[in-house]
Copies of this chain bind each other. A is one copy, B any other.
Amino acid sequence: MSVREMIKTYPAEINLDRELIADALLALIDCSQACTACADACLSEEKVADLRKCIRSNLDCADICDATARVLSRHTGYDANITRAQLQACIQACKSCGDECGRHAEMHEHCRVCAERCRRCQRACENFLEAMS
């Protein structure tokens, strides 16, 4: 992953700690991929009908993490209001999806790994939001 390397190359000032931004970015893109993969794994399960809500949460969480990672990858023309609001949405999506996947963690290994990534991403976004204020 070149996230840490890329952020060092940003040529202007960034008001936030670059390591903290990189931590959040890595958690976001990891969570997004885990959610896309978990939705797909759920879809292949015999009891897919019991995993409808889990698939839905995964799809939303992947889309929201992707958008949040895009926003956090940009520093030019920074608007704290957008960053803050999108982080809050992402924290909520990760919380909901982590809880939902957590319910199937003992049954499905993909849900266990995905729940763990959602929780890590939620914490990384919370840390970022706290550092902004």
> How far does the alpha carbon of A78 sit from the alpha carbon of B10 in the complex, in Å?
25
Q: Is A52 an interface residue (CB 8 A)?
A: yes
Asked if B64 contacts A86 (CB within 8 A), the reply is: yes
Partner of A33, one of B3, B34, B39, B46: B3
Q: Is A123 an interface residue (CB 8 A)?
A: no
A43-100 residues with Cβ-Cβ distance < 8 A to B are 43-46, 48-49, 52-57, 59-60, 63-64, 66-67, 69-71, 73-79, 81-82, 84-86, 88-89, 91-93, 95-96
How many monomers of this protein are in the complex?
Answer: 4
Contact residues on A (Cβ < 8 Å of other chain), bracket = 35 or more
Asked if B69 contacts A56 (CB within 8 A), the reply is: no
Asked if B56 contacts A74 (CB within 8 A), the reply is: yes
Asked if B93 contacts A11 (CB within 8 A), the reply is: no
Given contacts A10-B41, A52-B76, 7 further A-B contacts (CB under 8 A): A2-B33, A2-B117, A9-B37, A43-B56, A44-B76, A66-B66, A86-B92
Residues of A whose CB lies within 8 Å of any CB of B are 1-3, 5-7, 9-12, 25-26, 29-30, 33-34, 36-41, 43-46, 48-49, 52-57, 59-60, 63-64, 66-67, 69-71, 73-79, 81-82, 84-86, 88-89, 91-93, 95-96, 108-110, 112-114, 116-117
